[in-house]
A and B are shown apart, each in its own frame.
Chain A
Amino acid sequence: MTQSSNRKHASGESPAWAQEMTQILDAYKLAGGDPEALQLPKVATLVINTNHILAVHEIPGVVIHAEPLENGVRADITVEPNTKVEQPIHLCFGVVPADGVQDIIANYEIGENATAQFLAHCSFPNAVHVKHNMKAHIHVSKNASLTYTEEHFHGENGGVEVYPFSEVMVDEGGQFFSTFALTRGRIGLLSIDYQVYAAANAVVKMTTKAYGFADDKVKVNEVVHLDGEKARGLTLSRVAVREHAVSQIFTTMEGNAAGARGHMDCTEIVRGQAVAHNTPLVVVRNDQAQVTHEAAIGSVNQKELEALMAKGLDEDEAVDLIIRGMIR
């Protein structure tokens, strides 16, 4: 189904809806989103608070179907073949109350030769006990391209548990570029699990950025299967932890076909009593494939530090600038 500009509000525009919409847009802003972008006619949007679908807006070539679940929402978004979506599709998922569970089941279908960007913001600004489960199935069809950027804001209490799971299929010649960023406020517990399957000539680039402190915990498990000939994969992990935060980065890159090329690049900066783990796993099942990895875990690079201090920054200012740059 293709619709021209069509903004739908599940609860009409009642005062209760307006109040909830205002709250979620405030939360959206805290996660780095631009609420005005959600109002633009050319921008496809989906706005969800807990299991309330507050706004759905489709544009030509982009079909959005959302239905409430007991503790969340099921969302199916289809970008029709040959569609070039000019403006990013904006997704806003949030839980405004202090307590709650949100389950998002998402299916994203990017049709052949289509190009789209998704800009997802997940915000839990008041969370004391909030659990967010995301289960996404993403299909990037032949020669299609999807850029998926997800930014989170978990408030300042650290009371959030977030479990994003994504299974991504990238067909021949398809491109999948993703960035996950949680660099403002507390993290709480973040456990990412991505499985990506790349067919022939497909390109996958996944970037994860997180900044944890206090007793935050970050666990990232990314597996890229380069199954098709000349498939290419790159994972970039940029994590900083301080105080008593813990990060665990497990990255696997499989080179399963001739000409497949993969690289994993992890930088983690550790301050105070924090602990960082990094486990890259390389699996190569074809003698024409190649996978490489590099990792730098620990203190800030001394040369970088001294270069900034030679400009007059003190050590703390220099470290903060390096970390902010790394996760920017």
Chain B
Amino acid sequence: MERILRIQNLSLTREGRKILENVNLVLNSGQVHALLGINGSGKSSLAYSIMGCEGYSPDSGKIIYDGQELNKLSITERARLGITLAWQEPARFEGIPVGKYVGLGLKKPDRQKVINALKAVALPAKVYGYRSADKTLSGGERKRVELAAVYAMRPRLAILDEPDSGVDIISLDDISRLIRNLAEEGAAVLLITHRKDFVDTADVASLMCAGTVIFTGDPHETRLFFEKRCIPHVEALGTQPWNESLPEVQAAFASNGELRSSNK
């Protein structure tokens, strides 16, 4: 099992506000690594920082991929190293056919790979291949197209930001299978999700709170803690700013004897 990504003490400020603080995380090839946390805990920001999106350059810390520091590389350079990201709400493209979009990450055009990738997300190429990846697709369809594009690319590191949200229940098994296939074919998958069944099929899980990773360990235990302790606790905090809630959540975390932080 190869360590493909190591994030060391990553911090990020946007518009004067701390978004990520001393994040430490390790991803291994061939593993699905679930990332949990309440809304606003920094999961998507971490995903954008790894991908190199505009406005998400870290203030400090390192993102090391396959032994190479990524911090100064563009999105394109990172993608060409084998990293890609499926956005939570994928962009819409007027006039770009789904089939073409799905094949963009291929090193050379391969119609069959595109057909297979669409099939993997239960979208028949005959029906969807020539449709535009635009606003005429439903939210769920667009997400499945995005996942197909990631799958066709066969990345070494796939970052999937809530790939299950907005997808119909019938297609969730296909999405779950696709994620497992990516890992079985050797990719590291960082899976941001809230779904119980998705977390439980991951190999490892981390919990984010207030911009940092506070625990990494068994997916089932992590999810149970998240559901039973984090969510009720944060709900009880009401409208407090998230950064002020961190000590209280950490205290709640520390009071649970079953879990110990292993984020370093």
Residues of A within 8 A of B (CB): 238, 267, 301-304, 306-315, 321-322, 324-328
Contact with A along B52-83 (1 / 0, CB 8 A): 01100000000000000000001110111001
Which residues of B are found within 8 Å of A314, using beta-carbon distances? 76
With A310-B84, A310-B85 given, is the CB distance from A322 to B93 under 8 Å? yes
Kindly provide the distance from the CB of A163 to the nearest chain B CB, expressed in whole angstroms.
27
Q: If A306-B53, A308-B104 touch, does A313 touch B76 (CB 8 Å cutoff)?
A: yes
Report A-chain residues with C-beta under 8 Å of the C-beta of B95.
324-328
Asked if residues A321 and B96 are in contact (CB atoms below 8 Å), the reply is yes
Residue contact B91 to A304, C-beta cutoff 8 Å: yes
Query: A312 to B105, Cβ gap below 8 A?
Result: yes
Interface centre among A238, A321, A327 (most CB of B within 10 A): A321
The 8 A CB mask of B84-124 against A (1 = contact, 0 = none) is 11010011111110000000110000000000000000000
Please indicate the chain B residues that have their CB under 8 angstroms from the CB of A325 in the complex.
93-96, 132
9 A-B residue pairs with CB within 8 Å: A267-B94, A306-B75, A308-B104, A309-B74, A309-B75, A311-B84, A311-B105, A322-B93, A325-B96
| Interface residue? B199 (CB, 8 A) | no
- Contact A306-B153, Cβ < 8 Å, known A311-B104, A312-B80, A313-B76: no
CB contact list, B144-158 vs A, under 8 A? 149, 153
Chain B 120-132 per-residue mask, 1 if CB under 8 angstroms from chain A, else 0? 0000000000001
- A-B pairs with the 4 shortest C-beta distances? A325-B95, A328-B95, A309-B75, A311-B105
How many residues does chain B have at the interface if contact means C-beta atoms less than 8 Å apart? 25
Contact A310 B51 (CB under 8 A): yes
Looking across the interface, which residue of chain B has its beta carbon closest to that of A209?
B95
Q: Considering residues B53, B74, B76, B149, which has the most beta carbons from chain A within 10 angstroms of its beta carbon?
A: B76
Chain A residues closer than 8 Å to B53, beta-carbon distance: 306
Task: Give the shortest distance, in Å, between B146 (CB) and chain A (any CB).
Answer: 8
Task: Give the distance in Å from the alpha carbon of A309 to the alpha carbon of B76 in the complex.
Answer: 5
Residue ID in chain B nearest A317 by CB atoms:
B76
Residue from B76, B94, B104 within 8 A of A238 (CB atoms) = B94
Known interface pairs A306-B53, A306-B75, A309-B74; A326-B94 also in contact (CB < 8 Å): yes
Cβ of B94: which chain A residues have Cβ within 8 Å of it? 238, 267, 325-326, 328
A14 nearest CB across to chain B (Å): 44
> Are B87 and A303 in touch, CB under 8 angstroms?
yes
Q: Which residues of A contact B87 (CB under 8 A)?
A: 303, 307
Q: CB-nearest residue of chain A relative to B107?
A: A312
Contact A310 B93 (CB under 8 A): no
Number of A-B contacts (CB under 8 A): 61
Q: Bound complex: CA of A301 vs CA of B79, how far in Å?
A: 19
Collect the chain B residues with CB atoms within 8 Å of residue A310's CB. 51, 75, 78-79, 83-85
CA–CA, A326 and B79, complex, Å: 24
In the bound assembly, the distance between CA atoms of A326 and B149 in angstroms comes to 20
Alpha-carbon separation in the docked complex, A322 to B153 (Å) = 20
Distance (whole angstroms) from the CB of A301 to the closest CB of chain B: 7
A309 to B75 CA separation, bound complex (whole angstroms): 6
Q: Given the known A-B contacts A304-B93, A307-B87, A325-B95, are A312 and B74 also in contact in the complex, defined by CB atoms under 8 Å? A: no
From B75, which residue of chain A is reached at the shortest CB distance? Answer: A309
A303 to B91, CA, bound (A): 6
Look across to chain B and name the residue whose beta carbon is closest to the beta carbon of A303. B91
A301 closest partner in B (C-beta): B91
Alpha-carbon gap, A321 to B84, bound state (A): 19
Among B79, B85, B93, point to the contact of A312 (Cβ < 8 A): B79
Specify which chain B residues have a CB less than 8 angstroms from the CB of A312 in the assembled complex: 76, 79-80, 104-105, 153
Residue of chain B at shortest CB distance from A238? B94
Query: Which has the most chain B C-beta neighbours within 10 Å: A308, A310, A328?
Result: A310
CB closest chain-B residue, reference A308: B104
Complex contacts, B51 vs chain A, CB 8 Å: 306, 310
Most buried by B among A307, A309, A315: A307
Min distance, Cβ B156 to any Cβ of chain A, angstroms: 13
Residues of B130-149 whose CB lies within 8 A of A: 132, 149
CA distance A139 to B92 in the complex (A): 36
B91→A307 contact, CB < 8 A: yes
Please indicate the chain B residues that have their CB under 8 angstroms from the CB of A308 in the complex: 104
18 additional A-B residue pairs with CB within 8 Å, beyond A309-B79, A311-B105: A301-B91, A303-B91, A304-B91, A306-B53, A306-B91, A307-B90, A310-B83, A310-B85, A312-B104, A313-B104, A315-B76, A322-B93, A324-B95, A325-B93, A325-B94, A325-B95, A325-B132, A328-B95
Question: Least Cβ distance of A84 to chain B in Å?
Answer: 26
What residues of chain A lie closer than 8 Å to B80, measured between beta carbons?
Answer: 312
Tell me if B93 and A311 are in contact (CB < 8 A). Answer: no
Known contacts A301-B91, A303-B87, A326-B94: does B54 contact A311 (CB below 8 Å)?
no
* Cα distance A307–B91 in the bound complex, in angstroms: 7
A238 vs B95: C-alpha distance when bound (angstroms) = 11
In the bound complex, residues from chain B placing their C-beta under 8 Å from that of A311 are 79, 84, 104-105, 149, 153
Q: State the CA gap A130–B76 with chains docked (Å).
A: 43
Q: In the complex, which residues of chain B have a beta carbon less than 8 angstroms from the beta carbon of A328?
A: 94-96
List A contacts of B84 (CB < 8 A).
310-311
CA separation between A267 and B135, bound complex, in Å? 14
Whole-angstrom CA separation of A315 from B96 in the bound complex: 17
Contacting residues, chain B, for A322 (C-beta < 8 A): 93, 96
Q: Which residues of A contact B104 (CB under 8 A)?
A: 308, 311-313
CA distance A302 to B75 in the complex (A): 12
